[in-house]
Amino acid sequence: MALYPCVQCDEECVDCTIQCSCCDRWVHSACVPMDDALLLAWSDVSLKFLCKDCCFTDKYDMAKALESDFDIFSNFFNHLRVKLIDADTEQLFFGTDEEAGLVKSMKTAFPESGHILCIRHLKGNIKQRMIDDGIDKKDRESVLDSIFGNQGLVHSDDDICFEVKCEQIQERTKELSASFHRYFANRVARTIRELWEGPTPPGYFDQGWTNNNSESLNHVLKSAINWQSKPLLDLIVTIQEIVEAQFKDLQRALVSRGQYRVADSHKHFEITATSWVNKTVQERERLTKRFKSYIPPDKRIITSTDGRMNVIKPRALGKKIGQRKRKINERTTTFKKKKD
SS3 49: coil
Q: Residue 334 domain-assigned? A: no
Q: Residue 143 domain-assigned? A: yes
Angle of helix 137-148 relative to helix 119-132, nearest 10 degrees? 150
Which amino acid appears at position 231 of this protein? P
Angle of helix 212-224 relative to helix 232-254, nearest 10 degrees? 110
Distance (Å, whole) CA 299 – CA 108: 41
Q: Which residue has the higher pLDDT, 5 or 255?
A: 255
Domain boundaries, position 174: 119-207
What backbone torsions phi and psi does residue 117 show, to the nearest 5 degrees?
A: -105, 150
pLDDT digits (tens, 9 = 90+) for 192-245: 888 777 777 666 655 567 778 888 888 888 888 887 777 878 888 988 999 999
CATH code for the domain in which residue 27 is found: 3.30.40.10
- Residue 337: band (very low, low, confident or very high) from pLDDT cuts 50, 70, 90: low
Please tell me the total count of domains within the chain.
3
Identify whether the C-beta of residue 63 lies closer than 8 Å to the C-beta of residue 81. Answer: no
Q: Residue 181 domain-assigned? A: yes
Verify that 274 and 198 share a domain, yes or no. Answer: no
Q: Which residue has the higher pLDDT, 246 or 2?
A: 246
Question: To the nearest whole percent, how much of the chain has pLDDT over 90?
Answer: 18
Q: Residue 312 domain-assigned? A: no
pLDDT digits (tens, 9 = 90+) for 236-293: 898 899 999 989 999 999 999 988 899 988 999 999 999 999 999 999 999 999 999 9
pLDDT digits (tens, 9 = 90+) for 156-205: 888 888 899 999 999 999 898 888 888 888 888 888 888 777 777 666 65
Verify that 164 and 237 share a domain, yes or no. Answer: no
Q: Residue 318 domain-assigned? A: no
Angle of helix 137-148 relative to helix 159-176, nearest 10 degrees? 170
Q: What is the pLDDT of residue 45?
A: 46
Mean pLDDT of 7-24: 74
Q: Residue 243 domain-assigned? A: yes
Q: What is the pLDDT of residue 167?
A: 92
Verify that 172 and 217 share a domain, yes or no. Answer: no
Distance (Å, whole) CA 295 – CA 165: 44
- Residue 339: band (very low, low, confident or very high) from pLDDT cuts 50, 70, 90: low
Final residue in a domain of this structure, among 278, 293, 308: 293
Distance (Å, whole) CA 73 – CA 76: 5
Verify that 223 and 275 share a domain, yes or no. Answer: yes
What backbone torsions phi and psi does residue 266 show, to the nearest 5 degrees?
A: -120, 15
Mean pLDDT of 33-57: 59
The reported pTM is: 0.51
Distance (Å, whole) CA 287 – CA 247: 12
Verify that 124 and 200 share a domain, yes or no. Answer: yes
Verify that 250 and 277 share a domain, yes or no. Answer: yes
Range with the poorest average pLDDT among 117-121, 141-145, 264-268: 117-121
Verify that 246 and 269 share a domain, yes or no. Answer: yes
Q: Residue 150 domain-assigned? A: yes
Verify that 274 and 218 share a domain, yes or no. Answer: yes
Q: Residue 88 domain-assigned? A: no
Q: For 95, which DSSP code?
A: E
Angle of helix 232-254 relative to helix 281-293, nearest 10 degrees? 100
Verify that 200 and 124 share a domain, yes or no. Answer: yes
Highest-confidence segment of 25-34, 135-144, 297-306, 308-317: 135-144
Final residue in a domain of this structure, among 138, 173, 207: 207
Mean pLDDT of 28-53: 63
What backbone torsions phi and psi does residue 58 show, to the nearest 5 degrees?
A: -80, 0
Distance (Å, whole) CA 174 – CA 167: 10
Q: What is the pLDDT of residue 197?
A: 76
Identify whether the C-beta of residue 68 lies closer than 8 Å to the C-beta of residue 102. Answer: yes
What are the start-end ranges of the E strands in the chain? 17-19, 26-28, 93-96, 114-117, 301-303, 310-312
Whole-number average pLDDT of the chain: 79
State the Rg of the chain over Cα.
Answer: 28
What backbone torsions phi and psi does residue 69 show, to the nearest 5 degrees?
A: -60, 125
